[in-house]
A and B are shown apart, each in its own frame.
Chain A
């Protein structure tokens, strides 16, 4: 509340009411209660004998009345936030929060409906004497109604106000409102109708009209899916469910890949608890995942917000890597490559290399003594001179002393127990990462430069027992995966409101299946959470990460923003209370007995 929005006569009425109240209380406590006594004579004698005290002076209660009146009026004005010279006669810019939390239902009514009612009542007051604009504070602020004094425009705009599926950027909206007021000139104010308090300070006076209070909700706070690097075709789903309630709650989490249920599990949560649920899906195609909380039960309460009960994610399709193996005769590599269903391999003899175009392949494997080949992804075994890697001395029976297992090309594979008969020491160039080391010598390294990736291992597969170990296929697969640059997972989901880069001429379908509007190959209107389709590619826009407890602006922070100087208000209130108590104790004690 602020007096800045009230007409002068109403401010006067409030002050008069408070004054009447204080005076009434004063008169009430000053009205003596009758007490019948046996004889007045002794009291009169006592009056003559007792010395008058300072506090018995009749001026003291009168002074107390005046101070009480002063403090009460100061308190009212402080709470009311009076701003003299500024009011509804000027420009009023109304900022209405359109964030996801405004869908919270309290007593069967969504916060947004209550916000609309508040705005309508302010518009009724403000349009009579000034212009009003309405800014929709969604993911991005938007002027819903430019400055107008037409009541009808405002009413129509409010009727069409909908919500975004993510948190509102209230500060940006308030800044926009401040700019509008400043551009208009003259007196003006900003009215924020929201369930959170803005943090931004403005030049124009800001009045917060709070809507909403604390409410219980169960929410999906995270949903992720990724391909299993080992189990080909499988993907793992992980969902986090959180209870934003002080009561016990339970629900059923159902995760579907389109229409196929891949996870259906009950979850029970204590107050403010989180639970992570995991599931497994199998599909080589792109997985479009929708997680939904169903059958939600909160003890003694209800789930106030439905928007945070659903989340979206996408798992990328299984991608086939084309591999060219150039070898004279290496049955181990041939078998390893053919065993992996995600690899499409072609074996070529060095003599056949001229008839092939290496660019048709994602990765090239060059076995011992193969002709060096320029390619963006090469795995070299036992390189020879001129292969692009400087070679050092020949090492007899080198012992593997260190393995950089954390490198994605190795993917956790350790070669410490591998026996090697003979190896060539490799001289790393600047930027090279040594993968396998034998004492001071490098016998394996990874290079990434100018968009090219190379893995070099300085020993012949015929002179090692590596091929007999389980680590061998893993080493090859991880190496191929890194070389093919498939180690980077595509982003799982984007925040609603994030621009979608689709490319010119692309066809983009929104979550509802309707074509989205492209502007220069970019879709800006992504405020709806769900799965968007760009051609065959699916992209998830999910607001689960912004799920949070549903609090109203009645919190301490919000109050701090609502009242300009809370400490002074509190001091005044405390002062008034102490004054009344002191006066009562000193002058009127015993009146209730």
Chain B
């Protein structure tokens, strides 16, 4: 897969904000909670022994006869973890949800790299499937795109296990973007809670499709699970389909509440929507317009 030029042009006009508490140590484009060296003046305070004498404001000393030290806002980079669901359920939909997921993952990577944040793409199923190389510049994006294309969607999901594996790697705090369809009733709430507890800023993008959300099935049907291959024979009546929709809707409500409790946001999109519009809707809702 390759990020569409139109999407790139759209992303070039946007900036991905990261919460101050998830910024890293290196110079970057995000405000840090620490007042330190920088170029944006923030405040003055009285000099205490040990302060860097280069920061003494001598003009103020001349006026006030008191030693004061200038303080600056420090701008640091952020860590961005894009977690992409590559389970079997992501193969469903027209186009397949995985295609939309890959586009979104690449878009987030592109956006973060544009502002020199450290980006890692982490595909997952029942466990983490490794990670893409960390990159801070856009010239590494083709490598990430190839990585995404080479990772097929198949198998079952267990998000809580994935998050535990992620936590075991002791990653620095950062913005965690989870791109998934949430089409598994278990593990999501625990995973989101754990991510919030680790201090990550959480953003969940749910990719849905008509088949998942608004199925139109009638008659004698043998349902086949896309992840496990299990089979279930049902007579799809209107009542059954309605109950299914209610079950999915309740699950999404639970997931949204869990994300909010973890301090994050949950955005929803549909796989049938054109990719450019998806990126504009999803990324545009969380990004801010770039000063440049």
A183 to B89, CA, bound (A): 83
In the assembled complex, A109 has its CB within 8 A of some CB on chain B: no
Given contacts A35-B222, A45-B244, A46-B240, 15 further A-B contacts (CB under 8 A): A32-B220, A34-B222, A35-B223, A35-B224, A36-B223, A39-B89, A40-B232, A42-B244, A46-B243, A49-B243, A50-B240, A56-B237, A590-B219, A591-B219, A593-B216
The chain A residue with its CB closest to the CB of B87 is A38
In the assembled complex, B221 has its CB within 8 A of some CB on chain A: yes
Among A37, A588, A590, point to the contact of B223 (Cβ < 8 A). Answer: A37
In the assembled complex, B1 has its CB within 8 A of some CB on chain A: no
In the assembled complex, A589 has its CB within 8 A of some CB on chain B: yes
> What residues of B have a CB within 8 angstroms of the CB of A29 in the complex?
220
In the assembled complex, B281 has its CB within 8 A of some CB on chain A: no
A37 to B97, CA, bound (A): 13
The chain A residue with its CB closest to the CB of B227 is A39
In the assembled complex, A31 has its CB within 8 A of some CB on chain B: yes
In the assembled complex, A43 has its CB within 8 A of some CB on chain B: yes
In the assembled complex, A587 has its CB within 8 A of some CB on chain B: yes
Are A32 and B224 in contact, with the CB atoms below 8 A? no
Q: C-beta contact mask, B243-275 vs A, less than 8 Å → 1, else 0?
A: 110111001000000000000000000000000
> What residues of A have a CB within 8 angstroms of the CB of B217 in the complex?
35, 590
28 A–B contacts from the bound complex (CB under 8 Å) = A30-B220, A32-B219, A32-B220, A32-B222, A32-B233, A34-B222, A35-B222, A36-B223, A36-B225, A36-B226, A37-B226, A39-B183, A39-B184, A39-B185, A39-B226, A42-B185, A43-B232, A43-B234, A43-B244, A44-B232, A45-B185, A46-B243, A46-B246, A49-B246, A588-B218, A589-B218, A590-B216, A590-B217
Chain B positions 134-171 with a Cβ under 8 Å from a chain A Cβ = none
Are A46 and B237 in contact, with the CB atoms below 8 A? no
Among B218, B224, B244, point to the contact of A46 (Cβ < 8 A). Answer: B244
> What residues of A have a CB within 8 angstroms of the CB of B184 in the complex?
39, 41
> What residues of B have a CB within 8 angstroms of the CB of A39 in the complex?
89, 183-185, 225-227
In the assembled complex, A440 has its CB within 8 A of some CB on chain B: no
> What residues of B have a CB within 8 angstroms of the CB of A488 in the complex?
none
> What residues of A have a CB within 8 angstroms of the CB of B13 in the complex?
none
| Chain B, interface SS category | mixed
Q: How far is the CB of B271 from chain A (nearest CB, A)?
A: 11
A53 to B243, CA, bound (A): 13
The chain A residue with its CB closest to the CB of B222 is A32
Are A40 and B247 in contact, with the CB atoms below 8 A? no
Among A32, A33, A47, A588, point to the contact of B240 (Cβ < 8 A). Answer: A47
> What residues of A have a CB within 8 angstroms of the CB of B233 in the complex?
32
A351 to B230, CA, bound (A): 136
Among B183, B220, B240, point to the contact of A38 (Cβ < 8 A). Answer: B183
Among A47, A51, A591, point to the contact of B218 (Cβ < 8 A). Answer: A591
> What residues of B have a CB within 8 angstroms of the CB of A44 in the complex?
232
Chain B positions 72-111 with a Cβ under 8 Å from a chain A Cβ = 89, 92
Interface centre among B228, B235, B239 (most CB of A within 10 A): B235
> What residues of A have a CB within 8 angstroms of the CB of B251 in the complex?
42
Do A45 and B222 form a contact, CB below 8 Å, given A36-B92, A39-B227, A53-B237?
no
Q: How far is the CB of A389 from chain B (nearest CB, A)?
A: 103
In the assembled complex, B117 has its CB within 8 A of some CB on chain A: no
In the assembled complex, B242 has its CB within 8 A of some CB on chain A: yes
Do A51 and B226 form a contact, CB below 8 Å, given A42-B251, A45-B247, A590-B216?
no
Q: How far is the CB of A182 from chain B (nearest CB, A)?
A: 58
Are B232 and A50 in contact, with the CB atoms below 8 A? no
Q: C-beta contact mask, A35-79 vs B, less than 8 Å → 1, else 0?
A: 111111111111101110101100000000000000000000000
In the assembled complex, B212 has its CB within 8 A of some CB on chain A: yes
A82 to B152, CA, bound (A): 66
The chain B residue with its CB closest to the CB of A56 is B235
In the assembled complex, B189 has its CB within 8 A of some CB on chain A: no
Are A587 and B224 in contact, with the CB atoms below 8 A? no
Are A40 and B222 in contact, with the CB atoms below 8 A? no
Are B185 and A41 in contact, with the CB atoms below 8 A? yes
Q: How far is the CB of B279 from chain A (nearest CB, A)?
A: 23
Cβ-closest 9 pairs across A and B: A590-B218, A38-B89, A46-B243, A46-B244, A38-B183, A50-B243, A32-B220, A40-B225, A32-B222
> What residues of A have a CB within 8 angstroms of the CB of B223 in the complex?
35-37, 40, 43
Are B89 and A588 in contact, with the CB atoms below 8 A? no
A589 to B226, CA, bound (A): 24
Chain B contact residue count (CB 8 A cutoff) = 41
> What residues of B have a CB within 8 angstroms of the CB of A32 in the complex?
219-222, 233
The chain B residue with its CB closest to the CB of A30 is B220
Interface centre among B186, B232, B233 (most CB of A within 10 A): B232
Q: How far is the CB of B272 from chain A (nearest CB, A)?
A: 15
Are B239 and A53 in contact, with the CB atoms below 8 A? yes
Are B237 and A33 in contact, with the CB atoms below 8 A? no
> What residues of B have a CB within 8 angstroms of the CB of A53 in the complex?
237, 239
The chain A residue with its CB closest to the CB of B225 is A40
Q: C-beta contact mask, A260-291 vs B, less than 8 Å → 1, else 0?
A: 00000000000000000000000000000000
The chain A residue with its CB closest to the CB of B208 is A38
> What residues of A have a CB within 8 angstroms of the CB of B246 in the complex?
46, 49
Are A42 and B248 in contact, with the CB atoms below 8 A? yes
Are B247 and A46 in contact, with the CB atoms below 8 A? yes
Q: How far is the CB of B264 from chain A (nearest CB, A)?
A: 23
> What residues of B have a CB within 8 angstroms of the CB of A47 in the complex?
232, 234, 240, 243
> What residues of B have a CB within 8 angstroms of the CB of A35 in the complex?
217, 221-224
> What residues of B have a CB within 8 angstroms of the CB of A33 in the complex?
219-222
> What residues of A have a CB within 8 angstroms of the CB of B185 in the complex?
39, 41-42, 45
Do A587 and B243 form a contact, CB below 8 Å, given A34-B224, A37-B224, A39-B183?
no
Are A50 and B224 in contact, with the CB atoms below 8 A? no
The chain A residue with its CB closest to the CB of B240 is A50
Q: How far is the CB of B222 from chain A (nearest CB, A)?
A: 4
Do A50 and B242 form a contact, CB below 8 Å, given A40-B230, A42-B251?
yes
The chain A residue with its CB closest to the CB of B249 is A42
A311 to B236, CA, bound (A): 73
A47 to B243, CA, bound (A): 8
> What residues of B have a CB within 8 angstroms of the CB of A38 in the complex?
89, 92, 181, 183, 211-212, 226-227
> What residues of B have a CB within 8 angstroms of the CB of A42 in the complex?
183, 185, 244, 247-248, 251
> What residues of A have a CB within 8 angstroms of the CB of B215 in the complex?
37
Do A51 and B239 form a contact, CB below 8 Å, given A36-B226, A46-B244?
yes
A31 to B217, CA, bound (A): 15
A589 to B217, CA, bound (A): 9
Among A31, A37, A51, point to the contact of B225 (Cβ < 8 A). Answer: A37
Q: C-beta contact mask, A5-46 vs B, less than 8 Å → 1, else 0?
A: 000000000000000000000000111111111111111111
A37 to B217, CA, bound (A): 11
The chain A residue with its CB closest to the CB of B186 is A41
Q: How far is the CB of A45 from chain B (nearest CB, A)?
A: 4
A51 to B248, CA, bound (A): 18
The chain B residue with its CB closest to the CB of A41 is B185
A50 to B247, CA, bound (A): 11
> What residues of A have a CB within 8 angstroms of the CB of B248 in the complex?
42
Q: How far is the CB of B199 from chain A (nearest CB, A)?
A: 31
Q: How far is the CB of B134 from chain A (nearest CB, A)?
A: 31
> What residues of A have a CB within 8 angstroms of the CB of B236 in the complex?
590
> What residues of A have a CB within 8 angstroms of the CB of B220 in the complex?
29-33, 587-588, 591
The chain B residue with its CB closest to the CB of A48 is B243
A252 to B250, CA, bound (A): 88
> What residues of B have a CB within 8 angstroms of the CB of A51 in the complex?
239
The chain B residue with its CB closest to the CB of A588 is B219
Interface centre among A33, A39, A47 (most CB of B within 10 A): A39
A436 to B235, CA, bound (A): 100
> What residues of B have a CB within 8 angstroms of the CB of A587 in the complex?
219-220, 235
Among B219, B228, B247, point to the contact of A49 (Cβ < 8 A). Answer: B247
Q: C-beta contact mask, A316-348 vs B, less than 8 Å → 1, else 0?
A: 000000000000000000000000000000000
